[in-house]
């Protein structure tokens, strides 16, 4: 079965009677007029369609729990939707913990992830009732045990391992290969377990966590990942008589940014993972564990678009035509970071057959501030609304105030209604942390 991550556009996208693009029953031109641009727009129906697809695809394996990877895009409203859909949260900072906690989320259904958790973040996580810690390294083992002891509590942990599996994706988003900043190498696991047995009495090891990468288009990596982990669980049982009952497989399912992308469906990875669980549980003679996965991009990516207003343009003699917009690398860093490509349309003129090659440039004082290079679009006029699809993941999450540009607003659309889920930043908010010391007055 096809799932929304295999489409470029949100599932409610259509051209309305005005000839404008409409998402969630809302005309994008009207949204731009009401909320201004740049503007992030999220289609609630697409988000919930993906969460339901995950639950349906994995229903054949009842010991399964989905944990939304909050790093993709997180607000209190998104936390609420995930809780309503029966998802947990994969968190990786104090800010994400605070957001989840203050949204009213059940913190027992959260995992704290990350390769350099601070003392303050760990204390916040324990005090907030985070359910499980994914421990990344020896430093964290010692720090976490010390803090847990000082609070007279026991913390449930997974050991994050690097399974030695490389997926065919950009090197910046590969996390499971051996030369990675994340996790224990397989040769280090025994040392970690022996420390847990002999010294760290406030940590309770319940399982292993691995993650092979992001924007994955292939099934085999999921099958191989399960086998590596299950083999290790059997070895740990034989050597230490420790029975691990939980496995976290990470996330990483890819989405369709352009027509060149060919992502697989949620049902395909579910069948692959479940088959591997069944086969390798039998092969290594272990009880089928509780399995957690952490989809992020595949849940939120296709659901989001970003709207810009066209401004100045420049035709280089015998060269490119540049069309500037009122945003850029501060609201979408991915094109500058790793040359990410997007599908783009003119929201108020999507069907025009008169097209030209154009490069969409951001407004920032940076030559690399290019959002889309050498794409075909209808002729753009000043004031047109330009729509970038599949920006739901890592757009706002990686946004900045570069050039002291304000962070953009975000709205949730559904059944013709639009609701603010992130207010546009104000200049007062931008400067509220600034301090002029008396010594320079």
Catalytic site positions: 365
User: Which one, of 323, 303, 305, 304, lies nearest residue 313 by Cα?
Assistant: 323
Q: 428: which residues sit within 8 A by CB, 6+ positions away?
A: none
Residues 320 and 395: beta-carbon distance below 8 Å: no
Residues 252 and 214: beta-carbon distance below 8 Å: yes
DSSP state of 158: E
Distance CA 298, CA 215 (A): 8
Q: 278: which residues sit within 8 A by CB, 6+ positions away?
A: 288
Q: 235: which residues sit within 8 A by CB, 6+ positions away?
A: none
List residues bridging with 215 in a β-sheet.
none
Q: Which two tokens stand for residue 415?
A: 């059944």
Distance CA 259, CA 261 (A): 5
Helix (H) / strand (E) containing 278:
helix 266-283
User: Which one, of 13, 38, 1, lies nearest residue 302 by Cα?
Assistant: 13
Q: 152 phi and psi, to 5 degrees?
A: 55, 50
Helix (H) / strand (E) containing 94:
helix 94-102
List residues bridging with 409 in a β-sheet.
39
List residues bridging with 14 in a β-sheet.
22
Q: Which two tokens stand for residue 420?
A: 């603010």
Q: 102: which residues sit within 8 A by CB, 6+ positions away?
A: 76
Distance CA 83, CA 79 (A): 6
Q: Which two tokens stand for residue 394?
A: 């890592």
Please state, in angstroms and as integers, the Cα–Cα distance from residue 175 to each residue in 114, 151, 216, 254, 310, following that order.
Answer: 12, 32, 11, 15, 37
Q: 318: which residues sit within 8 A by CB, 6+ positions away?
A: none
Q: 214: which residues sit within 8 A by CB, 6+ positions away?
A: 169, 173, 174, 175, 251, 252, 254, 297
Look-up: residue for tokens 């600034």?
434
């Amino acid at each position: 079965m096809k799932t929304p991550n295999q489409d470029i556009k949100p599932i409610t996208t259509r051209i309305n009677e005005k000839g404008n693009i409409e998402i969630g029953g809302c005309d994008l031109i009207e949204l731009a007029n009401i909320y201004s641009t740049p503007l992030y727009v999220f289609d609630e129906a697409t988000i919930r369609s993906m969460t339901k697809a995950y639950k349906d695809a994995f229903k054949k394996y009842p010991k399964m729990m989905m944990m939304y990877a909050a790093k993709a895009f997180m607000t209190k409203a998104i936390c609420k939707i995930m809780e309503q859909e029966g998802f947990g949260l994969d968190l990786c900072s104090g800010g994400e913990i605070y957001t989840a906690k203050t949204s009213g989320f059940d913190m027992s259904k959260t995992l704290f992830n990350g390769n350099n958790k601070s003392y303050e973040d760990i204390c916040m996580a324990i005090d907030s009732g985070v359910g499980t810690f994914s421990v990344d390294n020896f430093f964290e083992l010692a720090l976490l045990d010390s803090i847990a002891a000082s609070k007279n509590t026991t913390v449930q942990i997974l050991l994050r391992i690097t399974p030695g599996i490389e997926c065919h994706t950009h090197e910046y988003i590969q996390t499971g290969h051996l030369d990675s900043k994340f996790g224990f190498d397989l040769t280090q696991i025994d040392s970690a377990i022996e420390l847990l047995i002999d010294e760290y009495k406030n940590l309770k090891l319940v399982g292993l966590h691995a993650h092979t990468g992001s924007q994955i288009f292939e099934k085999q990596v999921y099958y191989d990942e399960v086998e590596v982990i299950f083999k290790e669980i059997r070895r740990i049982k034989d050597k230490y008589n420790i029975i691990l009952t939980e496995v976290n497989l990470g996330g990483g399912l890819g989405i369709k940014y352009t027509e060149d992308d060919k992502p697989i469906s949620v049902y395909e990875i579910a069948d692959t993972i479940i088959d591997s669980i069944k086969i390798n549980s039998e092969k290594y003679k272990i009880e089928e564990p509780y399995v957690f996965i952490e989809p992020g991009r595949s849940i939120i990516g296709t659901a989001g678009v970003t709207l810009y207003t066209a401004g100045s343009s420049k035709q280089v003699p015998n060269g490119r035509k540049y069309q500037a917009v009122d945003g850029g690398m501060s609201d979408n860093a991915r094109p500058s970071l790793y040359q990410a490509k997007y599908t783009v349309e003119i929201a108020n003129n999507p069907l025009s057959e008169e097209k030209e090659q154009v490069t969409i440039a951001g407004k920032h004082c940076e030559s690399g501030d290019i959002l889309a290079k050498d794409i075909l679009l209808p002729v753009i006029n000043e004031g047109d609304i330009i729509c970038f699809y599949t920006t739901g993941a890592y757009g706002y999450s990686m946004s900045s105030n570069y050039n002291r540009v304000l962070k953009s607003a975000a709205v949730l659309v559904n059944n013709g209604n639009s609701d603010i889920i992130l207010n546009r930043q104000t200049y007062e908010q931008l400067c509220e942390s600034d301090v002029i010391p008396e010594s320079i007055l």
